[in-house]
Amino acid sequence: MAWRGVHLIRPARLSLADGQMVVAQDAEEVRLALEDIAWVVIDTPQATLTSALLSACMEAGIALVTTDARHTPSGLTLPFHRHHRQAHVAAIQLAVAKPLRKRLWARIVAAKIRNQAAVLERCGRPSAPLALMVRRVASGDPANVEAQAARLYWSRLFTKFVREDAADRRNMLLNYGYAVLRAGVARALVAAGLLPALGLHHAGGANAFNLADDLLEPFRPFVDEKVWRLSDAGRMRGGEPALEDRHVLAALLLDEALLGRERVTLLVAAEHAAESLVRALEGHSAVLLLLPAPAPERADDDTA
- CATH number (domain holding residue 46): 3.100.10.20
Choosing from 23, 54, 77, the residue where a domain stops is: 77
Residue 226 lies in a domain: yes
299 within a domain of the structure (yes/no): no
**Within-domain flag for 304:** no
Please, what is the Cα angle at 246 between 241 and 248, to 5 degrees?
130
Q: Is 9 helix (H, G, I), strand (E, B) or coil?
A: coil
Question: In the predicted model, what is the mean pLDDT of residues 231-250?
Answer: 87
| Domain's final residue, options 23, 52, 77 | 77
Asked if residue 301 is part of any domain, the answer here is no
- Do 57 and 151 belong together in one domain? no
Q: Say whether both 189 and 44 belong to one domain.
A: no
Phi and psi (nearest 5°) for 209? -130, 40
Same domain, 28 and 154: no
Query: Residue 302 falls within a domain, yes or no?
Result: no
85, 36, 295: which is closest to 193 by C-alpha? 85
Per-residue pLDDT at 301 exceeds 60: no
Measured torsion, CA atoms of residues 286, 193, 180, 167, in degrees rounded to the nearest 10: -70
**Predicted pLDDT of residue 304:** 40
pLDDT greater at residue 27 or residue 228: 228
Max Cα separation, the chain?
59
**Same domain, residue pair 235 and 188:** yes
Same domain, 51 and 90: no
Q: Mean of the pLDDT values across residues 22-41?
A: 94
The reported pLDDT for the residue numbered 3 is 85
- Do 144 and 25 fall into the same domain? no
What's the pLDDT score for residue 166?
87
Q: How far, in Å, CA of 304 to CA of 292, rounded?
A: 24
Based on the domain organization, do 232 and 134 belong to the same domain? yes
Residue 27 lies inside a defined structural domain of this protein: yes
CB 164, CB 131: distance < 8 Å: no
The answer to whether residues 23 and 111 belong to one domain is no
Boundary residue ending a domain (24, 49, 77)? 77
Number of domains in the chain: 2
Q: Give the model confidence (pLDDT) of 178-212 as tens digits.
A: 999 999 999 999 999 999 999 999 998 889 899 99
8 Å CB contact between 270 and 216: no
| 114 within a domain of the structure (yes/no) | yes
- Domain of 49 in residue numbering reads as 4-77
Polymer length in residues for the chain: 304
Task: Let me know whether 68 and 92 are in one domain.
Answer: no
> Do 68 and 100 share a structural domain?
no
Nearest by Cα to 187 from 244, 88, 103, 271: 271
In angstroms, the CA 301 to CA 74 distance is 32
Whether residue 140 has pLDDT greater than 60: yes
Question: Can you give the pTM of this predicted structure?
Answer: 0.91
300 domain residue, yes or no: no
- Mean pLDDT rounded to a whole number for the chain: 92
Whichever domain contains 116, its CATH number is 1.20.120.920
Model pLDDT, residue 249: 96
What does DSSP say about strands 73-77 and 63-67: parallel, antiparallel, or unpaired? Answer: antiparallel
Q: What is the pLDDT of residue 82?
A: 62
* Cα–Cα distance, 126 to 192 (Å, whole number): 38
284 and 186 share one domain: yes
Residue 144 near residue 30 (C-beta atoms within 8 A):
no
Amino acid at 286: A
Same domain? For 26 and 156 the reply is no
Give tens-digit pLDDT for 122-135.
999 989 889 899 99
Q: What is the mean pLDDT of residues 18-24?
A: 95
